[in-house]
Amino acid sequence: MTPSIRSVTPISATRLVLVYGNGERRAFDVGPLLDIGRFSELKDESLFKAVRVSFDTVEWPNGLDIDPEELYAGSVAMEGDVAEEPPSYGRARRI
C-alpha cells in the first residue's frame, strides 16, 4: 500500500517534493508529463506552484491530479536536499 502524502512543495518549474506519512521525502519530476494532454497547462508556473495535497494524492486548481502510485513509483528518495539516482525502470526522472 502506498503511504499517504502529508505535504507537497514545488521546488522548480517541474519538480515536487513529497512528504509521506511514514516520514519519507521523495522528489517527483512532472516534466515528462507536460507534453501530454491537459498536463501542458502546468507549464504555467503560477498554476504549477498552486499544487496542494488532496486526499491521497496531489491536485492543481484546474482539477489535474496524478495517481498516488505513479507519484511514489516515479519519485526518488531524498537524503536531506539531495535526491538519489532515479529508478532504472520506466521513465527516468532527473532531479
Beta-carbon contacts of residue 77 (< 8 Å; ≥ 6 apart) = 24, 25, 26, 83, 84
* Structural domain boundaries, residue 79: 5-83
Q: 10 lies in a domain?
A: yes
pLDDT, tens digit (0-9, with 9 covering 90-100), for 17-45: 999 999 999 999 999 999 999 999 999 99
Task: Please check whether residue 60 lies inside any domain of the structure.
Answer: yes
> Is 93 contained in some domain?
no
Residue 54 included in any domain: yes
The answer to whether residue 26 sits within a structural domain is yes
Q: Tell me what pLDDT residue 81 has.
A: 61
In a domain, 62, yes or no: yes
Task: From residue 69, give the alpha-carbon distance in Å to each of 47, 66, 88.
Answer: 23, 8, 17
Strand partners, 54: 57
User: For the domain that residue 52 is a member of, what is the CATH number?
Assistant: 3.30.2020.10
Instruction: Tell me how many domains the chain contains.
Output: 1
Phi, psi of 94 (to 5 degrees): -100, 130
Q: What is the pTM of this model?
A: 0.82
Residues 39-75 pLDDT 10s: 999 999 999 999 999 998 999 999 999 999 999 999 9
- Does 59 reside within a domain? yes
